[in-house]
């Protein structure tokens, strides 16, 4: 067998410009799936994917944890929606965020301490979030290094950041996300015909001219501006990579199908809109992963200072969390809990969407690792204790699932370290100061 790697693909294609269709004449031998559809013909398994799923305002303590540690037989009532997937998720209780004397910035400290490993000193995040650390390892060869979405209609509701102060803006419209992924520039990996576009090659040469100025530009910059310029060029690299991929016949992926273009539900923080748009996002992102368009996704169900609301009500989830009394019979805040049930239902929708895509004997969820986190252990008092953490998926067999792990006061960064190791980031310690840890959750690592 020969592989295409030994051939300069651009040299092959260069003679074919002008519209000649190439009808699968190219040897993709190393890209074909095995008969089970779970591995590439080379024997390498389908690649592992990672995602974060963020929700705001936590859960009610004592109402989400499975009653016992170890194998999950039952969830607490607030996670009951995950029951169909109880063998495919893990629940981590008892972790906390440690302030180390820094200010408690409500609805900010908790989210970013979990996602970056460092308790922020001020209302600014300047270090990369865990998804970006992972994307730099597993996401460098896909069309999109990562995809961010927010179901609240606000692009700033993104919990993914690169180094520096730039947030990765979230896509808020499912229809726009569809166009970005499955629009005209999408190359169906299973299409029989492949026609390289001369326009794409022309764009490559233009972007080379942009890149060529890098050294001249960097000369006069100080260190922080240089880092910002580097980030620009790293973003440019993604565009160049997209063009490279557009000129190559993609490897077939059995599970890849192009979804139908969705119609946006009204964008905004009203709960029914959020649920609807989130469900559309879950479907699109699952297809994007199955089609090899990205390996890292970041989903925001609702923002940390939750703006979720119900039509006709003057109160938001956040306002309820502070102003609603605990029902003496129920023992919790009923309206807050109603939002919580919608949120955990959303998580079940996300897990379900990943699990609905069949790949060989299993599903896309088997090679996925989704990490769900929030900003507080108990919104009513802005607690940073007992942070609810959940993962879904087996990371291609590197995670065991179906367990409730009880951490007994350890820093929540244990999960960030665990997921990084599970997807192949070569580190053995993560976080800073009291959030630094070298302890993974070995109970769930295969």
Site for another protein in 157-186 (CB under 8 A): 162, 164-169, 171, 180
Cα atoms found within 13 Å of the Cα of residue 117, Cβ hemisphere only: 22
DSSP for 193-218, please give it: EE---HHHHHHHHHHHHHHHTHHHHH
Residues 9-68 that bind another protein (CB under 8 A): 17
The answer to whether the CB of 132 falls within 8 A of the CB of 421 is no
Does the protein bind another protein through residue 153 (CB under 8 A)?
A: yes
Q: Please identify, using beta-carbon distances, which residue of 165 and 427 lies nearer to another protein.
A: 165
Q: Which of 209, 328, 329, 428 binds another protein (CB under 8 A)?
A: 209
Q: Please identify, using beta-carbon distances, which residue of 180 and 367 lies nearer to another protein.
A: 180
Q: Tell me which stretch binds another protein (CB under 8 A): 84-92, 103-111, 392-400, 414-422.
A: 103-111
Does the protein bind another protein through residue 140 (CB under 8 A)?
A: no
Q: Which of 1, 2, 192, 212 binds another protein (CB under 8 A)?
A: 212
Q: Please identify, using beta-carbon distances, which residue of 41 and 319 lies nearer to another protein.
A: 319
Calpha distance 179→21 (Å, rounded): 24
Q: Tell me which stretch binds another protein (CB under 8 A): 57-65, 284-292, 309-317, 353-361.
A: 309-317
Residues 224-243 that bind another protein (CB under 8 A): 225, 227-229, 231-232, 234-236, 238-239
Q: Please identify, using beta-carbon distances, which residue of 6 and 311 lies nearer to another protein.
A: 311
Calpha distance 152→277 (Å, rounded): 8
For 238-253, letters b (16+ CB in 10 Å) and e give: bebbbbebbbbbbbbb
Shortest Cβ 295–another protein spacing (Å): 14
Q: Please identify, using beta-carbon distances, which residue of 162 and 278 lies nearer to another protein.
A: 162
Residues 240-269 that bind another protein (CB under 8 A): 268-269
Calpha distance 339→135 (Å, rounded): 31
DSSP for 300-346, please give it: ESS-SS---B-TT-S-BHHHHHHHPPPPTTTSS-HHHHHHHHHHHHH
Number of residues that bind another protein (CB under 8 A): 80
Does the protein bind another protein through residue 156 (CB under 8 A)?
A: yes
Q: Which two tokens stand for residue 314?
A: 């003057």
DSSP 437: B
Q: Which of 30, 188, 324, 433 binds another protein (CB under 8 A)?
A: 324
Residues 398-417 that bind another protein (CB under 8 A): none
- State residue 246 phi and psi, 5-degree precision: -70, -20
Q: Which of 42, 73, 74, 313 binds another protein (CB under 8 A)?
A: 313
Residues 114-133 that bind another protein (CB under 8 A): 123-124
Q: Which two tokens stand for residue 438?
A: 């070298």
Shortest Cβ 110–another protein spacing (Å): 9
Helix, strand, coil percentages in the chain from 3-state DSSP, rounded to 5: 35, 15, 45
- State residue 49 phi and psi, 5-degree precision: -125, 160
Q: Tell me which stretch binds another protein (CB under 8 A): 113-121, 141-149, 246-254, 363-371.
A: 141-149
Q: Please identify, using beta-carbon distances, which residue of 117 and 128 lies nearer to another protein.
A: 128
Calpha distance 359→361 (Å, rounded): 6
Does the protein bind another protein through residue 314 (CB under 8 A)?
A: yes
Residues 265-304 that bind another protein (CB under 8 A): 268-270
Does the protein bind another protein through residue 101 (CB under 8 A)?
A: no
Using CA of residue 89, residue 92, residue 98, residue 103, what is the dihedral sign? positive
CA 131 to chain centroid, in Å, comes to 7
């Amino acid at each position: 067998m020969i592989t295409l790697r030994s051939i300069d693909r651009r040299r092959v294609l260069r003679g074919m410009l002008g519209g000649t269709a190439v009808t699968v004449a190219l040897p993709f031998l190393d890209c074909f799936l095995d008969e089970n559809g779970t591995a590439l013909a080379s024997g390498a398994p389908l690649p592992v994917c990672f995602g974060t799923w963020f929700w705001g305002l936590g859960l009610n303590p004592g109402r989400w944890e499975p009653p016992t540690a170890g194998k999950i037989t039952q969830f607490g009532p607030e996670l009951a929606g995950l029951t169909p997937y109880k063998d495919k998720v893990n629940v981590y209780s008892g972790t906390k965020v440690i302030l180390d004397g820094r200010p408690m910035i409500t609805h900010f400290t908790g989210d970013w301490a979990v996602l970056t490993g460092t308790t922020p000193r001020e209302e600014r995040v300047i270090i990369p979030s865990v998804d970006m650390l992972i994307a730099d390892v597993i996401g460098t060869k896909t069309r999109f290094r990562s995809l961010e979405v927010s179901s609240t209609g606000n692009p700033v509701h993104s919990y993914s950041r690169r180094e520096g102060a730039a947030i990765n803006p979230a896509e808020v419209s499912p229809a726009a996300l569809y166009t970005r992924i499955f629009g005209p520039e999408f190359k169906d990996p299973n299409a029989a015909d492949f026609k390289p576009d001369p326009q794409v090659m022309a764009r490559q040469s233009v972007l080379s001219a942009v890149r060529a100025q890098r050294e001249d530009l960097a000369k006069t910059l100080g260190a922080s501006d240089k880092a910002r310029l580097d980030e620009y060029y790293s973003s440019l690299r993604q565009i160049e990579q997209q063009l490279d991929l557009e000129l190559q016949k993609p490897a077939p992926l059995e599970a890849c199908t192009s979804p139908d273009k969705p119609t946006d539900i009204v964008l905004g923080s009203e709960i029914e809109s959020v649920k609807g748009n989130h469900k559309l996002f879950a479907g699109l992102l699952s297809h994007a992963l199955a089609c090899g368009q990205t390996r890292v996704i970041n989903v925001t169900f609702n923002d940390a200072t939750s703006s979720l609301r119900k039509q006709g009500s003057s109160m938001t989830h956040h306002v309820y969390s502070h102003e609603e009394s605990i029902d003496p019979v129920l023992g919790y805040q009923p309206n807050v809990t109603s939002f919580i049930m919608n949120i955990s239902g959303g998580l079940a929708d996300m897990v379900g969407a990943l699990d609905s895509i069949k790949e060989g004997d299993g599903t896309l969820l088997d090679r996925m690792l989704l990490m769900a986190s929030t900003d507080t252990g108990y919104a009513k008092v802005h607690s940073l204790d007992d942070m609810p953490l959940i993962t879904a998926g087996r990371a291609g067999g590197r995670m065991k699932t179906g367990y409730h792990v009880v951490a007994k006061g350890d820093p929540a960064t244990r999960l960030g370290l665990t997921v990084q190791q599970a997807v192949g980031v070569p580190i053995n310690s993560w976080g800073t100061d009291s959030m630094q840890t070298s302890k993974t959750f070995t109970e769930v690592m295969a």
